[in-house]
Amino acid sequence: MKTQVAIIGAGPSGLLLGQLLYQNGIGNVILERKSGEYVLSRIRAGVLEHTTVQGLEKAGAAERMHKEGLVYTGVELLFNDQHVRIDFEKEVGKNVVVYGQTEVTRDLMDARPATGGVTVYEADNVALHDIDTAAPYVTYTKDGEAHRLDCGFIAGCDGFHGVSRQSIPADVLKSYERVYPFGWLGLLSDTPPVSDELIYAKHDNGFVLCSQRSTTRSRYYLQVPLADKVEDWSDERFWQN
Ligand SMILES: Cc1cc2nc3c(=O)[nH]c(=O)nc-3n(C[C@H](O)[C@H](O)[C@H](O)COP(=O)(O)OP(=O)(O)OC[C@H]3O[C@@H](n4cnc5c(N)ncnc54)[C@H](O)[C@@H]3O)c2cc1C
């Protein structure tokens, strides 16, 4: 197979890139290690910043988000008992939209067939070759059969643990990261959110985020020690904190 851009990973980045390339007349093939159902079932983001919303609009995949997403014009900051509200619309004329990453992914997946772009799900053993030449290629196996994808460019959209990052030679790779000495414990709960808007709170017990996915589903995060395991946190302990 041959294409202009080989995209590794069919998460939101890979799918969005595929869509934007298509709109600019650039052919692409996406190779994804997991099945489409698996990718869709991965619960992650829910708060879409203004630039993300604009990206989805540009990609022509924003219609359902605008219909079903919840628009927030501000956010609450809480310092122990002191409330400070930041009014995004008043300050910068922008807002954020609460719309699940699974839904973003679904919309981008649904938009892809119209582009004629190929997505190969369950592509195993993806490997990048000759990446420092003008004729790179990617190899992979699908249903036990070996394949080769020739291309002009490879876009590594397969996340921190993906194969693309590992393929960059150590003397060329530059990492920019900030490592925080604590962990995040996230909980998705079928309960109405505690507030109409998101709350970012600094508390003596640590940092807390009260986020949400809809008017009936909440997403909460607690700052926890890095060594903590999920099993250390019973429902009771979580809600008490
Ligand atoms: C708990 C949590 C909450 C978050 N909340 C928010 C939020 O509210 N707002 C926000 O903006 N962001 C949030 N984020 C961040 C957001 O989820 C990520 O930025 C987003 O998933 C990145 O998308 P991506 O497509 O780059 O990577 P991913 O979604 O990780 O997709 C990478 C894809 O590459 C595939 N892949 C990996 N290795 C290979 C391989 N070797 N071969 C082929 N395919 C491979 C994976 O299966 C995956 O489908 C959150 C993240 C987490 C974990």
Q: Which atom of ligand 1 is nearest to 140's Cα?
A: 42
pLDDT for the residue numbered 20 = 96
Element holding 83 (H helix, E strand): strand 82-87
pLDDT for the residue numbered 35 = 97
pLDDT digit of tens for each residue in the chain (241 aa)?
Answer: 999 999 999 999 999 999 999 999 999 999 999 999 999 998 888 899 999 999 999 999 999 999 999 999 999 999 988 999 999 999 999 999 999 999 999 999 999 999 999 999 999 999 999 999 999 999 999 999 999 999 999 999 999 999 999 999 999 999 899 999 999 999 999 999 999 899 999 999 899 999 988 889 999 999 999 999 999 999 899 888 7
Q: Which atom of ligand 1 is nearest to 9's Cα?
A: 34
Which residues share a beta bridge with 77? 84, 200
Q: Which atom of ligand 1 is nearest to 31's Cα?
A: 43
What spacing in Å lies between the alpha carbon of 62 and ligand 1's midpoint? 19
Backbone angles phi, psi at 17, to 5 degrees: -60, -45
pLDDT for the residue numbered 150 = 98
Mutate to test the pocket of ligand 1, among 101, 165, 230 (most ligand atoms within 8 A of CB): 101
pLDDT for the residue numbered 213 = 86
Q: Which atom of ligand 1 is nearest to 13's Cα?
A: 25
Going by their DSSP bridges, the two strands 145-150 and 137-142 should be labelled as antiparallel
Give the residue from 177, 181, 206, 148 showing the smallest Cα distance to 2.
148
What spacing in Å lies between the alpha carbon of 127 and ligand 1's midpoint? 20
pLDDT for the residue numbered 81 = 83
**Which residues contact ligand 1 via a Cβ below 6 A?**
8-14, 31-34, 39, 44-47, 101, 123, 126, 157-159, 162-163, 186
pLDDT for the residue numbered 39 = 95
Global pTM reads: 0.91
pLDDT for the residue numbered 47 = 92
**Structure tokens that stand for 39 in this block:** 């990718």
Q: How far apart are CA 96 and CA 99, in angstroms?
A: 10
